[in-house]
Amino acid sequence: MTDTELQLDQLDGMANEAFAGRVVRKDLVRQVKVGANVPVYVLEFLLGKYCASDDPFSIEAGLMVVNQTLKDNFIRPDESELAKARVKQKGEFRLIDKVDVRLVASEDKFWAHLQNFNDRFVHIPENLVYKYDRLLQGGAWCQIDLLYNAADDEAQKRPFYIKGLKPIQVAAFDLDEFIDGRRGFSRDAWLDLVMRTIGLEPLQFDLRGKLLALCRLIPMAERNYNLIELGPWGTGKSFVYRESNPNAILISGGKVTVAQLFINMSTGRVGLLGTWDIVAFDEVAGLQMSDSTVVNMLKDYMESGSFARGKEEVPAEASVVLVGNTSRPHTDLVREAHLFADLPSSMVDPAFLDRLHYYLPGWEVPKLETKLFTGHFGFVSDYFAEALRQVRKQSFVRAVDTEFALGSHLSARDEKAVRKTVSGLLKIIHPHGEWTRSELREYLEFALEGRRRVKEQLKKLASHDYAKTAFSYIERDTGLEHWVEVPEQPESFDADFEAGVDVAADSGAAPGDAASNQETTEQLIAQGESKRVEFKQTGRINLHTQQRDSVIEQMVVKSIAGFMNASGGTLLIGVSDSGEITGIEADFKTLGQKQNTDGFALWLNGLIDNLLGPTAAANMMFGFEEFSTGTVCRVDVVAGNVPAFVRRTKGDAELYVRLNNATRLLNTADALEYVQNRWRA
């Protein structure tokens, strides 16, 4: 088999049929790239134009055309004066360059800027500007027919004229056409096509490996998405940002300034975050901030999506990506320090790190070797980059709500991070808006894991502020709660589970004693959530939908059962995770005629009786306290003398236990062992 022969598979045929002229063989790109210092997306567009065939002779002929075109027409920046001389000498010359256009209102005229040709005042016909609107939106690489005509009557000589222009990037994009093409593929086939688009052979990866690779694309599909990837060298962390997307800029080490990122106050020019879709920082360990203002402004931008320009706020949509190498194996970092240890000291700030939506574990990504590269067809990078840019305008952040609810340990910032990750994956893999419940579950668990990885490291840096890391989700139809772990994190569950042998004694309370009733509600709130105290903002209303939600009710019961099966505790309803008293007045509105504390008490008693049984009430007492910002329901729970099982609609029962500062569902084997140890005779 020669270099240009390839055994096509079914996916190659499907891709060429659905996206004719929009796909290219990735092995040919690697061949041409070796001798051509041009962006990959320019090469791929040319290859897609001249080599979109399975005939080896046609491919050979196409490669010759591509190489000759690059040789004759591509100008390097250091050849700009030579190119100008050639245009003057010949009167007309064809070249390949990046063209962007601006309107100079004072002259009522469009001027073209040729990047490598290094001329900002090139005449361009208005019809070309209106035909290719991308020229006004950052520019496009084009094949240009350039004329030289030095008019005698011009006061300032501007002799270069664009006679004809043919974009070799995507100058017009039809999102509906792209989505219609997607409908012809299964989820797995589309996933494999996207893997081939970024140059990797999907047969070498399992589903998790594919999701990790595609996670690098989420900043391209999701606005204001903050991603970090740290891991060993040689895994291709920066390639997609440097070579395959014309809307991304990669900053490699060096010093970063406020003017560079945000705005230059002396010139008024907006910086990188205001002009690019993705700003990626490579070799982040060597990054230097000119002063503390840079990190503070970047921290605010990563949260709000805007930055201050004097008294004005400048909105921007750029995603922020941090990539770099780890100095030690991740197992050592987890055990001895934290996974952010290789960041510059100015960035090891919990408030800054908390803005990160996902920590991609670079140590799980294989080092690039020949067998991992694909030789099959994938999308032309520029075409796919434009597809991702278009879907940035969509949002699937509420997609999880149809099937699942997020667990109580997720803060508002955690929820935002998880939702944005799921939304990004759906845009990449399911831009047509169709997916199955099991697929959504896979993306949700993947998103929860990446955000929990951030929180576990924050807990090491500021344990009191970031203690809640038991991330979970609840099935809306069944009420089942599932916890999501991070593979590299030592399991903190085991130590407390083993302590179930005498779990009531570890706090100094005997079974049957009130859990925390010696302390005031204010004291409990000030101390924050712990093994003996839990906060719930509401008892039955979903603050997102403003509707009664059975999942929220079940979480209240599970918390009470968890205290009964452990060493007791106090549940405060009407207090947010951060300790803010919000009150249960929103719950009152769902209580029918008795919209007060009496109605709330009747509802809570009925809920406990229905899901835990009538004897459970003997292990708890509750009351209400009025505060300036709302009413708090305090539920004091004592450790039970017998196991408390949460009943389910189909007659099943579940055992929940309060371990660390989380309420956990035990599987059958763990539940049997726990019951034998906890309530042994």
pLDDT tens, position by position, 332-351: 888 888 999 999 988 999 99
- Arithmetic mean of pLDDT, 651-665: 83
DSSP string, 145-200: EEEE---TT-SS---EEEEEEEESS-SS--HHHHHHHHTTS-HHHHHHHHHHHTTB
CA distance 262 to 477: 46
Task: Pick 77-167's CATH classification: 3.10.129, 1.20.5, 2.60.40, 2.40.50.
Answer: 2.40.50
Q: Residue 488 burial (CB < 10 Å; 0-12/13-18/19+)?
A: middle
- Kindly report the CATH class assigned to 498-678: alpha beta
> How many degrees, rounded to 5, is the angle at CA 152 between CA 147 and CA 153?
115
Of 662 and 358, the structure prediction assigns the larger pLDDT to: 358
Higher pLDDT, 70 or 566: 566
For residues 275 and 297, what is the distance between their CA atoms, to the nearest angstrom? 17
Residue 317's pLDDT band (cuts 50, 70, 90): very high
pLDDT of residue 249: 85
* 666 has a pLDDT exceeding 70: yes
Q: Please tell me the pTM assigned to this model.
A: 0.75
Pairing type for strands 278-289 and 319-325 reads parallel
Give the whole-angstrom CA distance, residue 473 versus residue 405.
6
Q: Report which residue type is found at 103.
A: L
By three-state DSSP, how is residue 443 classified? helix
pLDDT at position 493 over 80:
no
pLDDT level of residue 490 (50, 70, 90 thresholds): low
- State what percent of residues in the chain have pLDDT above 90: 47
Apex 475 CA angle, 661 and 444, nearest 5: 80
Q: What is the mean pLDDT of residues 214-220?
A: 97
Residue 332: predicted pLDDT = 87
**CB of 562 within 8 A of CB of 656?**
yes
Most confident of 130-144, 284-298, 332-346: 332-346
Q: Return mean pLDDT, the chain.
A: 86
Contact residues for 569 (Cβ-Cβ < 8 A; gap 6+)? 515, 516, 531, 532, 533, 534, 562, 563, 637, 658
Rg of the chain over Cα atoms, rounded to whole angstroms, equals 30
Angle between helix 207-215 and 412-429 (nearest 10): 100
How high is the pLDDT of residue 502? Answer: 46
**With contact defined as beta carbons under 8 Å apart, do 473 and 481 qualify?**
yes
Q: Please report the pLDDT score of residue 382 as a whole number.
A: 83
- Higher-confidence residue of 579 and 681: namely 579
Confidence class for position 647, pLDDT limits 50, 70, 90: confident
**What pLDDT, on a 0 to 100 scale, did the predictor assign at position 331?**
87
Average pLDDT of 628-637? 94
**Average pLDDT score over residue span 541-559:** 88
pLDDT band at 2 (very low <50, low <70, confident <90, very high): very low
Asked whether 375 and 6 are in contact (CB, 8 A), the reply is yes
Q: From the CB of residue 201, how many other CB atoms can be counted at a distance below 10 Å?
A: 16
CATH superfamily, region 185-429:
P-loop containing nucleotide triphosphate hydrolases (3.40.50.300)
Please say whether the beta carbons of 600 and 547 come within 8 A.
no
pLDDT at 504: 41
Q: What is the pLDDT of residue 616?
A: 85
Under DSSP, is residue 143 helix (H, G, I), strand (E, B) or coil? Answer: strand
Same fold, 77-167 and 498-678: no
Domain residue ranges in the chain:
10-73, 77-167, 185-429, 498-678
Instruction: Give residue 252's pLDDT.
Output: 83
Q: What is the pLDDT of residue 155?
A: 62
CA dihedral angle for residue 577, residue 579, residue 582, residue 586, rounded to 10 degrees: 30
Q: How confident is the model at residue 560 (pLDDT cuts 50, 70, 90)?
A: very high
pLDDT, position 1 = 40
Distance CA 141, CA 143 (A): 7
